[in-house]
Amino acid sequence: MEKAEAAAFDIRGESGNNQVVFMHLDLASLKSVKTFAETFLKSEPRLDILVNNAGVLSPGRTDDDFGMAFGVNHLGHFLLTNLLLERMQRSGPSRVVTVASHLHCIGNIKFSLLTSKKDSVTGDYIWHNFQAYCNSKLCNMLFIRELANRLEGTCVTCYSLHPGVVYTEMGRNINWWLQLFLIPFAKLFFMDPERGSQTTLYCSLQEGIEPLSGRYFSNCALQEVGSRARDDTLAKKLWELSEKFSSS
């Protein structure tokens, strides 16, 4: 919260816009998502752009006992978007932008695991954490695909994107010895956050891309997606299960 308040203070100073505010939201808690949405809807009359940008690559469970990557990267965003969707429809034209990844291509969804373990993987080792992240990125892709189908004919459009390989604190919870190896490499070869935000800004602000709702972008351009991310049956099944999870 302190970092967020400091960031909001800096943005207000640099932009001259005093309407920049911070609201607490923990996507690892469905209760927190619902509280945030309630607070937002009471205080803000409109919502033009929703960017689902949070992401974790770490072990552990959410407050609701879901695997961390599935719970934060997909389910928290799924619930948040649906709680705010009516306000976005009243504010239209508006956009939902979800940050996914090219790693969705090696993601997989096993519904038997999700229903029995509330997770997309069976273990908690480094490889399992990485695979869970890839699986959650496939969930992001399928979420946007099904959302676009459901929003067809409305004033709300939605997009998914690959931001590039960006040097952020996303991996701050991985093993310290792996961080020692990765951080110098990341500083040399990964994008900084400003460059890594360009495709997010493109999907949020670019005029004329409304007919491309539900599509996937990278480097500010339209991209093809992996075969699983084009599966409408899979997308609908994930949506229905996510509804059940987020309402329980």
Degrees, nearest 5: CA angle 127-129-133: 115
Could you give the angle at which helices 77-91 and 126-151 cross, rounded to 10 degrees?
20
Catalytic hit among 133, 167, 202, 216: 133
- CA distance from start to end of the chain: 28
CB neighbour list of residue 97: distance below 8 Å, 6 or more residues apart: 49, 50, 51, 52, 158, 159, 160, 161, 200, 203, 204
Q: How far apart are CA 156 and CA 147, in angstroms?
A: 10
Radius of gyration of the chain (CA): 18
* Amino acid residing at 186: A
Q: Are 208 and 220 in contact (CB under 8 A)?
A: no
Could you give the angle at which helices 232-247 and 77-91 cross, rounded to 10 degrees?
100
- Annotation says 133 is catalytic: yes
CA atoms within 13 A on the CB side of 172: 4
Q: Are 85 and 95 in contact (CB under 8 A)?
A: no
Q: What are phi and psi of 95, to 5 degrees?
A: -140, 145
Residue-level length of the chain:
248
**Spatial CA neighbour of 228 closest among 79, 44, 100:** 100
Catalytic annotation, residues = 133
